[in-house]
Structure 1
Amino acid sequence: MRSGLVIGAKIGNGHFGDVHLATDQVHGQVAVKIIAQGGTSQADWDLEKADFLKEAQNLAKATHRNIVQVHHLVENDTGDALHICMEYCSGGSLQSKFEAGPMTVKSVRDVGNGVLLGLDCLHARGMLHRDLKPGNILLDGTGRAKIADFGLVTDRLLLGYGSAAGYSDHLAYEVWHHQPTSTKTDMWAFGMTLYRLLHGKQWYEESPAPRFTISSGGFADSLKWLPHIPKQWRRVLRAMMADDPSRRLGTVGEAQKAFSRLPIDPAWSCTVTAAEVAWTREAKGRRHLVRWQRHSPRKHEWSAWTEPLGAGIKRTVAGSNGVIGSGEAVKQLEAFFAV
């Protein structure tokens, strides 16, 4: 089958190739993953094409509103590239939201519920994703989360397991110790994805890269949390990322049950820079603000106040009453947000 696609601008990168906006004669505006032969020999290219066709067939099996729909796979007119034609998601990936800063707990729970439904569809068909991360979760025009980029998915499983592969910061403890992937390693990656979305790029990168520490064990207990993240969220994410797979939240059903109990109020919005963390929310005609100044690793201070949305008086609510250490600042802020 030859391509009748009109290829447009590049809009992203997938595991095997670049993604472009395109127009398809049947489906209209679509996204197309272009997999080029490049310097690959013809014999190897023929084998790779067969593998990529398998990838597209796997995607076609997993039709679900929380999975990016693949329409078809075709060769270009010269035979040196494959085009995987798929649903276009105009909201882009969650990578951009991660880079912009922390998402609200409500937004993360909404996204998480959608991803769990998509994962349930995959796992029910004996398939693994093995590369779950913010960049592989897309939003359609209505804001619905959809799992994308199944370059590592397989439905050829041995005793429920596939081979160890994926994005290194999202690889579970057992994979670093040469154990195969499973639905539980997908769940570990899901937990890491949620953690990243709750905290944003700046906060995430202030800690050592997970790929250097996961294999030592106890990674979930070493996570550094923004003070406003509720304890219930912390417990659930730690359970998703437990070292021992037998103690991990390992099924979609278990995760959905845990998710249904997670609080989403009060709805704090948060921004993080190297020097400051700030929170804001609105309630009962007033804007509530918290500012945590990180002057240096050992010198911190914070303050909280409210101000009217219209005319009125600013009111001081709480604060550190001067410079304190980082540990004490975190302790005080956690107590403030827990009230």
Structure 2
Amino acid sequence: MATVVPPLTLGRKLGAGAFGEVFEGQDSVHGRVAVKVMTRASGESAADWHQRKAGLLAEGQRLSAAEHRNVVRVHSISEDAAGDSIQLCMAFCAGGSLQDAYEKGPLPLDTVREIATNVTLGLDALHSRGMLHRDIKPGNLLRNASGVALLGDFGLVTDRLLHGYGSIAGYKDHIAYEVWSTWVTSAKSDIWALGMTLYRLLHGQEWYEAGQSPAATVPAGGYANKLCWLPHIPAGWRRMIRKMLNDDTSRRYQSAQQVLSALSTLETPRWTAKVDTDWVRWELAIGDRLKVVEWSWQSPRKHEWTAWSEPLGTTGRKRTLGGSSAAQARSKTLSELEDFFERA
């Protein structure tokens, strides 16, 4: 039976995905809300839609009980009079999703740690209630008006939907190694997807998409050891994310609480990074000086880098801090840059 909810007025579209469209809305109880409208998928039979619709309505009741400051509040879920669509009414997150930030480039380490801590607390709350997220990615991490990160768009992707619609949902990059063979998700596959999400936020879209496609490489195994890191990412972050992405679920973090413990130990140097198709630039302000590192390339064998410091808001001299002596291979450049950032 459909839930009785206050009448909803839909406004501007906020986004769209394989499982529905999201609109800004108003209702008489909660005021400004976000409304996800889910309809029958292309190619979905009437019987399958009826079954999925019943599951969505039942799951909506469970989601409304998942109250936590780092989980987007679900107010209600209902179907329209004709039975053609489902409306999921949620708290409105004025800060939007982290998809836009990811597309613009790498986020600072301290920002990613704060986001990760917030959403892992939310994930722990879901897991403690016996619930899974199944679709953790930058677009499903939201910020409220205060900038606090929350887990959103959760609970409505079942294992059956993952199997049937994973490709059109753009979800393949976040399918854990074991799910490719079993098509059964778990709390540990949520942790895997969170690890992939953190890697994305640390590197930004330009760098991420230049690397190996997870959908093409994860099923073969060993993906965690094939990650290409921006050289300013400290060793502790790399170890944590590789453990989150371990093929062997017994060697992965066993709970969100363990991820929280790992996050609490991480270093967060305040370098900002910008990535383009053929260069990367880092900056770090320390007092009245600005450290700058630039790495550029013309081909796989022609990479160069240089580092210097310059006055910041004052007069003074530019000081050379390091760099390559000539064009060189990518691997050598990465090694030298990693050494520089470790010492910087």
TM-score (norm 1): 0.92
Equivalent residue number for residue 297 of structure 2? 294
Measured at CA, do residues 38 and 191 of structure 1 come closer, stay the same or move farther in structure 2, by a change above 3 Å?
closer
Match of 2:25 in 1: 22
The one of 275, 295, 316 equivalent to 1:272 is 275
Task: Provide the residue aligned with 1:333 in structure 2.
Answer: 337
Give the Cα separation in 2 of the matches to 1:52 and 1:276. Answer: 46
Paired-residue identity, %:
48
Asked if residue 309 in structure 1 is aligned to residue 316 in structure 2, the reply is no
Aligned length: 331
Q: In structure 1, what is the Cα distance between the partners aligned to 2:309 and 2:240?
A: 31
Shift of 1:98: 1.0
2 CA distance for matches of 1:297 and 1:58? 52
**Cα distance, 1:250 vs structure 2:** 2.1
Per the alignment, residue 67 of structure 1 pairs with 71
The 3 A distance-change label for structure 1 pair 204 and 38 is: closer
Q: Partner residue of 2:126?
A: 122
Paired residues for 1:135-154 under 5 Å: 135-152=139-156
The match for 1:203 is 207
SS at match of 1:130: coil
Residue 295 of structure 1, CA deviation: 1.6
Q: d(CA) in 2 for partners of 1:119 and 1:41?
A: 33
Aligned-pair CA distance for 1:207: 1.3
Corresponding residue number in structure 1 for 2:174: 170
Is 1:283 equivalent to 2:289 in the alignment?
A: no
1:229 aligns with 2:233: yes
Letter in 1 for 2:111: S
2:282, 2:274 → 1: CA distance?
A: 7
- Corresponding position of 1:157: none
Matching residue of 1:249: 253
Structure 1, unaligned runs of 5 or more: 155-161
State the secondary structure of the residue aligned to 2:283.
strand
Deviating 4+ runs (over 6 angstroms)? 38-42
| 1:83-122 map, 5 Å | 83-122=87-126
Q: Please give the per-residue CA displacement for 1:142-161, whole angstroms capped at 9, x wherever unaligned.
A: 1111111125456xxxxxxx
The answer on whether the counterparts of 1:274 and 1:294 sit within 8 Å (CA) in structure 2 is: no
Moved more, 43-52 or 132-141: 43-52
| Contact 1:3–1:74 (Cα < 8 Å) also in 2 | no
Query: Which amino acid counterpart does residue 261 of structure 1 have in structure 2?
Result: T
Q: 1:256, CA displacement in angstroms?
A: 1.0
Give deviations 1:114-140, integer Å, cap 9, x for gaps: 111011111101111111111111111
Distance 2:126 2:84 in 1: 30
